[in-house]
A and B are shown apart, each in its own frame.
Chain A
Amino acid sequence: MTVVAALPSAPRRRLGDELLMRAAVAVLVVLLVTFIALPLATLLAKSFQDASGRFVAVANYGRYFATPALVQSLWNSLAVALLATGIVVPLAFVYAYGLTRTLMPAKTLFVALALLPLFAPSLLPAISLIYIFGNQGFLKSLLFGASIYGPLGIVMAQVFYCFPHALMILITAFSLADGRLYEAAAAMGTGRWRVFWTVTLPGVRYGLISALFVVFTLVITDFGIAKVIGGQFNVLATDAYKQVVGQQNFEMGAVVGFILLLPAMVAFGLDRGVQRRQVALLSARAVPFEPARNPVQDWGMAAYSLVTGGLIAAVLAVAVWGSFVTYWPYNLSLTLNNYDFENFEPNAAGPYFVSITMAALAATAGTAIIFTGAYLIEKGRGSRLLRASAQLLAMLPMAVPGLVLGLSYVFFFNAPWNPLGVLYGSIALLAINSIAHFYTTAHVTASTALKQIDGEFEAVSASLKVPFYKTFARVTVPICMPAILDVAVYLFVNALTTVSAVIFLYGASSKPAAISIVHMDEAGATAAAAAMATLIVITALTVKLLQLLAGRTLFAKLQVWRKR
């Protein structure tokens, strides 16, 4: 009994642990409302008002549909989006099949090749296509007189840009296969095609639907590609830009923004429903599928992946090459002159520096807010209603295209009545906009990591009279470090490469590199635009590689407790 003689009881903590948590949840909701909900509400309101702010019901919408040029853009957008979706999803489907269902060699390489476009602004493939098929393109003859400036160029560039997005969804869908179903089919002597139609395809159908909608939304809401290679071919995204920036017609810009919101909303709603069922498909007793060796299929898939992945890498490489060429296509000697942005930009080092600052801000502040927010939503006690609303608001940005969010920010932060207007045109607002734009994916990553840790940590620390924030810092954050890093790098890379959200928001001293690319390309300095794009790609890839390296060395040491 002497061993455990009771210690004198320590002074009891009376400080409002619970109160602090409630306050934190309230702050989170205020932030989400201010930077997500209110701007969107302003956009909606604007579309129902005239220039002087009077309510005009659907008059703006009536005017929109009465303007043939604008309606034509709507059809153009739909056509381009459908075509690009129809091309990219089947391509990615086969690619994902090879990666998950065969024993083809060099899978890591092929994944890396296919994911390359994620580290570039969407404009990069468009610039490359101009180098290849443009007026001075070395393969221009292959188009038989057709022009790359227009729907053809948009669709081709979109295929490159959207490929990794479709691929990631389909890889996940293919990975969730129950090996038992295949064994059962084989035991009954089922043929390969029959297995594909009755087991494989039904198993991935939800992922397939999800990929279709995600790609469709990406294409219809992308601004950069249409701007660079669209020529005279107008689409919704460029219309919104012209209405707001060119003609200062905010109301019509709001209408276009709202129209852009619709397909994204539909895609989002369907995707949510689809994901719920996808998870249900895989029972707890499922056994992961193990592909068997099949030389014909394995090498066939390797060849396909080599061609597809090689093309992706090659297209990106052309822009990089072009950025070093003295005078395309007449003088192909290499030079660094195009990286001397002083010749093209009044504020030479400015844009790149702005982008790095903004991406770093978004990555640090964004990760802190998003992870803490996900923790409060996931593990908090009390304030049930507030936490539920925070969750809803956190999921909202997924349904809002960057362009629409950017428009909303213009209307909200540029409004004369808004005290937050001081932020307008600052790097801080660009960073905030990026955090809001990419909130959902980061939030879901954080929530998933938090869901995987024991649900009783908070209860245990309460019973040991340790306040929740201490356990958060000492246990929860260290455990979730890999996910936190993922979120930070994700935010950094996306803030660096995004065009559509920030095109409305930059100020004289806060023009990010991605916008500078658009401007230099507009001014005919394609090589300089390619150079800036290359700089972004290199920066983004470096950060990603650093993360991988850190995970292998530094963090492997800090995470010894994971190993048995």
Chain B
Amino acid sequence: MVETIDRTAADQPRAQQVAPAAAAPHLTVAGISKRFGGFSALEDVSLSVETGRLVCFLGPSGCGKTTLLRVIAGLEVQDQGRITIAGRDVTKLPPAQRDFGIVFQSYALFPNLTVAQNVGYGLVNQRRARAEVKTRVGDMLALVGLSEHAQKFPVQLSGGQQQRVALARALATSPSLLLLDEPLSALDARVRVHLRDEIKALQRRLQVTTVMVTHDQEEALAVADQIVVMNRGRVEQIGSPTEVYGRPATAFVANFVGEMNLLEAIVVAPDEVKVGALRLACQGLQQRAPGTAVRLGLRPEEVRIRAVAPGAANAIAVSVAKFDFLGAFWRATLRPVAEPSLALIADFSVNAMRDLDIRRDQTLTVALPPELLRVFEGDRRMPA
């Protein structure tokens, strides 16, 4: 089955102005499997990307995201499955006959050619008039803001500038598909944030369908129209950034995208679960039978500390085991008094810390809001 990535306007209101009214997907990947010896790198991966969208493949290292990108490019040959780009079946075509531009983590700039020669590399080969190539190279360099560096060699540029040259080179031949393989991971944190915004702006401006591989969830949340979360060669979830963060489909996604407390629990009533010695109200059980093992997910910032009335839903007494100062907020490790084997992570604002005068080993009352507790399939190995 091919899962179509579509973006609901509510998720990305700002995208509405530029979103093309494209119906047919530009890139379709259907049932791709790839094994390296005994290791299964990709297992039956299917997805499609609409024209003009930016999709991120997100996952831990070894999850198969780069392999999938290389299969799309034709640099790896899949064992099974089909790929179409712009309605053309490219499954059996070598890379040169697929229509894409690519930027690698290492940029792979030709060190002995100038910036301008690098950008014009693919154009010269198309036997275009010299003047035409020159104009195009000039346009591309202006686009990435490197016009004054045209005659320099790559080694004379900073990492961020090299990355932009690679981007200009990949886009110079006007490919219909842009592939980015961890394009930002070799850069400093500050440059990374700046460049990812530039990539996003450029992509919106050119409306080129783009696939970007990254292991950085923050990066994916910031730039992607759609995120494909991958784990162990499989697709865990496909959705908009807000969907993936707010409504993770699996415990893996919940844990990988942002921080998440995961509590092993057992259903005891239609809207009640037991976590160790604690009984918690929970709204998302969807008629699971009592005795079913589930996992509850709650983000650290969702643990409520202010205005918890005694007797409020899921109000529990906890002792503060540890504090870590993370700059903008404090991250506390809390142990429920009734179930000290549990460790709950909670983020408290600096204001809350000051107002409530929270200290180590102090006992507090916090609430785990029943409507925010996400429910995932439980670990079957857990004793009921």
Contact = CB atoms under 8 A, between A and B. Distances in A.
B106 A454 contact: yes
B173 A464 contact: yes
B158 to A, nearest CB: 11
A144 interface: no
Nearest to A13: B96
Nearest to B174: A6
A454 B112 CA distance: 12
A556 interface: no
B265 interface: no
Given A454-B106, A463-B170, A470 B125 contact: yes
Contacts of A466: 121-122, 125
Which of A7, A460, A559, A560 has the most CB atoms of chain B within a 10 A radius of its CB? A460
A3 B202 CA distance: 12
A17 interface: yes
Contacts of A455: 106, 108
A562 B111 contact: yes
A538 B310 CA distance: 99
A7 to B, nearest CB: 5
A561 B169 contact: no
Contact of B122 (A457, A465, A475, A560): A465
Contacts of A471: 110
Contacts of B154: 561
Contact of B174 (A4, A467, A564): A4
A173 to B, nearest CB: 30
B140 interface: yes
A457 B139 contact: no
B194 interface: no
A461 interface: yes
Contacts of B95: 459, 462-463
Nearest to B175: A463
A464 to B, nearest CB: 3
B113 to A, nearest CB: 7
A4 B121 contact: no
A4 B110 contact: no
Contacts of A474: 110, 113
Interface string B50-94: 000000000000000000000001110000000000000000001
A17 B156 contact: no
Interface string A431-459: 00000000000000000000001111101
B94 A462 contact: yes
Given A3-B139, A463-B100, A561-B111, A456 B125 contact: no
B125 A560 contact: no
Contacts of B97: 12-14
B108 A475 contact: no
B96 A456 contact: no
Most A Cβ at <10 Å: residue of B96, B126, B139, B142: B96
A459 B112 contact: no
B102 A459 contact: yes
Contacts of A288: none
Nearest to A564: B155
Contacts of A563: 155
B171 interface: yes
B326 to A, nearest CB: 28
Contact of B140 (A4, A14, A457, A470): A4
Contact of B102 (A12, A460, A560): A460
Given A17-B94, A465-B173, A459 B100 contact: no
A357 to B, nearest CB: 33
Interface in A16-74: 17-18
Q: Is the interface on chain A under 10, 10 to 19, 20 to 34, or 35 or more residues?
A: 35 or more
Nearest to A14: B97
Contacts of B108: 454-457, 459-460
Contact of B112 (A12, A478, A564): A478
A462 B90 CA distance: 14
Given A4-B206, A459-B104, A10 B128 contact: yes
Given A462-B94, A463-B101, A456 B171 contact: no
B192 interface: no
Given A3-B143, A4-B140, A459 B155 contact: no
Nearest to A465: B96
A181 interface: no
B354 interface: no
A403 to B, nearest CB: 42
A152 interface: no
A475 B112 contact: yes
Contact of A457 (B94, B110, B173): B110
Contacts of A292: none
A479 interface: yes
B112 A464 contact: no
B155 A465 contact: no
A2 to B, nearest CB: 9
Nearest to B153: A561
B72 to A, nearest CB: 11
Interface in B134-164: 136, 139-140, 142-143, 153-156
Contacts of A456: 104, 106, 108
B354 to A, nearest CB: 43
A467 B128 CA distance: 16
A463 B205 contact: no
B380 interface: no
B170 to A, nearest CB: 7
A142 interface: no
B206 A464 contact: no
Contacts of B74: 462
A485 B320 CA distance: 69
A352 to B, nearest CB: 38
A296 interface: no
A188 interface: no
A461 B156 CA distance: 22
Interface of B: 73-75, 94-97, 100-102, 104, 106, 108, 110-113, 121-122, 125-128, 132, 136, 139-140, 142-143, 153-156, 169-171, 173-175, 179, 205-206
8 contacts: A3-B143, A456-B108, A459-B108, A460-B169, A462-B75, A478-B112, A561-B153, A562-B155
Which 9 residue pairs are nearest across A and B when measured between Cβ atoms? A464-B122, A10-B126, A462-B95, A456-B108, A561-B153, A6-B174, A475-B110, A454-B108, A462-B96
Interface of A: 1, 3-4, 6-7, 9-10, 12-14, 17-18, 453-457, 459-467, 470-471, 474-475, 478-479, 559-564
